Structure 1
């Protein structure tokens, strides 16, 4: 399988730092963070006014995935904060954060580029891969959920398209990484949580957030509920076939939830 980053460069080529459309942004990334070999990573998310790019972090030699912020820095701040909190657990289930800007002309987050496929892709097109790793995937989801709850984070958009599946040490697609924390809720010291202003002003986005199939109500989010729904996509009889993993997921439903105060 060709590396998506290399494929992007083959299709698009490196972007011209002097181009009128993206040149100033790339010049900024290169000048401040040393990011090189920048390329536009299609498609854009026009619904959220977000663009995606890839680049090379020369210091580490790692490819990075760059996401611009369509919410004036609010979502990049939330995503960076959530990832930094979660990485305190030293877990492999979350991406590495390389850089972020929450203010100024170019708010963005830059995380490690994950060379894998989404769980959604496997469910739709490679069910045989799912069949070989069902219990392992369910156990990993239970681990991810436990860490989220421990850190007081509600992801709010847990669905198969936001679970990346990476090759394990044997090259088998079986290792999960949860991505896209732009709209996560982070509980404060008093247990309270603050909704993003960007979403306060856009009820249609709040209703869409998380997908109707993966939350108990249009404006209520429960990551455990979402993981249970995904587990049933992986195996409709998972409660019977994998009772221990299912008990961890189902037993956490309604434990940590968030209801929109702007319903």
Structure 2
């Protein structure tokens, strides 16, 4: 079965919690989100398929409240954004004790599953995809939304390699409902609530306040993994992993794979600088750097193609020269023959 938003390959069939929420009809479960299961639904008014994320409560009252806040926050944060590389929210409501978000139905798989399946993106595919995500984040930041959990699982890839940023559950937005005091107390050092270890920025790992540049760092780690086939920092021990993120400098991607251009390797490392002030000033600046790399690559390919064509033409001319010399020799022999004939005759 085709995997869809938010996809979990080989998701076992499960009984539907209800056949309908709001005006939407449910047909099958297609995956799991951070705060609930996702179902394939249908909007009878507009006659289109949608993905319906239904909120699932935690095990205790405090956990339930936090999950509910994150659920509402996801709807509010993503709902204020309209960008081709960000999942579109159609509706959000709570009816009959069931809270849900209706969003666009996406064909494809998230980047986490693609990488786990051994999918290898070439340098240009990787740069194109990350550039589009950086552009989407620049748009989100301009609208006051910081994602704060950029990772492969939250980058959905359509069959045409078009990415969509998903899951704004812990995003920081102007209209969010999360309790700031409680949120600061629950960093990754406690319950791994605010982010995913391997892709967290150093400031996140330290439990500090973050700004939009935390998304720039996290996107840099995703690009690092796509290019090299490995995460920049790895450890089974969470505390050791966090210490690496805070203090250790990763190898340049070009050191891991020499085929990666140094110019692209430098872009990744600048995005992943420990000090936010040393990174790109914004996701927009990162997007521009990637655009310039892609443009230089295109120019280089055109130049090589042109040189190849000119070389081919030169070889063609050389191939033609022997027949030209033969023609001149034939004429010379003919003239010499005529001259010899007249000299012999007279």
Same fold (TM over 0.5): yes
Contact 2:186–2:193 (CA under 8 A) maintained in structure 1: no
- The answer to whether structure 1 residue 99 and structure 2 residue 91 are counterparts is yes
SS in 2 for 1:186: coil
SS in 1 for 2:164: strand
The answer on 1:242 being equivalent to 2:271 is no
Distance change in 2, residues 1:134/1:158 (3 Å): same
d(CA) in 1 for partners of 2:173, 2:115: 30
What TM-score, normalized to structure 2? 0.54
* Structure-to-structure mapping, 1:43-58, within 5 angstroms: 44=32, 50-58=36-44
> Which protein shows a greater Rg?
2
Aligned to 1:3: 2
> Corresponding residue for 1:251?
280
- The residue that corresponds to 2:135 in the other structure is 143
Selected match of 2:149 from 150, 153, 157: 157
Residue deviations 1:101-141 (CA, integer Å, cap 9, x gap): 25861112121121111111222324334555122012112
**Contact 1:187/1:193 (CA < 8 Å) preserved in 2?**
no
- CA-CA distance at 1:251 after TM superposition: 0.4
Asked whether 1:176 is paired with 2:157, we answer no
Q: Write out aligned runs for 1:73-112 (5 A).
A: 73-87=68-82, 91-101=83-93, 105-112=97-104
CA contact (8 A) 2:148 2:171 kept: yes
Which of 22, 32, 45 does residue 59 from structure 1 map onto? 45
CA contact (8 A) 1:95 1:112 kept: yes
State the alpha-carbon separation in 2 of the partners of residues 199 and 206 from structure 1: 11
1:223 shift after superposition: 0.9
Secondary structure of the residue aligned to 1:55 is: strand
CA distance in 2: counterparts of 1:97 and 1:223, whole angstroms: 21
**Structure 1 position 100, deviation (Å):** 0.8
- Cα deviation digits, residues 51-77 of structure 1 (max 9, x gap): 332211223333222222334542232
Q: Which has the higher helix share?
A: 2
1:39 pairs, out of 28, 40, 48, with: 28
Q: Secondary structure of 2:36's match?
A: coil
SS of corresponding position for 2:75: helix
Aligned length: 226
| Gap runs ≥5 in structure 2 | 58-63, 228-252, 255-259, 272-278, 285-346
Structure 2 distance, partners of 1:197, 1:68, is 27
Distance change >3 Å, CA 38–CA 199, structure 1 → 2: farther
Question: CA 1:59/1:164 → structure 2, altered by over 3 Å: closer, same or farther?
Answer: same
- The runs of 5 or more residues in structure 1 that have no matched partner are 16-21, 169-173, 256-263
Contact persistence 1:138–1:246 (CA under 8 A): no
Greater strand percent: which structure? Answer: 1
C-alpha distance 239-162 of structure 1, shift in aligned 2 (>3 A) = farther
Question: 2:26 touches 2:39 (CA, 8 Å); kept in 1?
Answer: no
Specify the SS of the correspondent of 1:77.
Answer: helix
Contact 1:186 1:194 in 2 (8 A): no
Does residue 121 of the first structure (1) align with residue 113 of the second (2)?
Answer: yes
Q: SS in structure 2 opposite 1:128?
A: coil
1:207 equivalenced with 2:206 (yes/no): no
User: What SS does the aligned partner of 1:156 have?
Assistant: coil
For 1:258, the equivalent position in structure 2 comes to: none
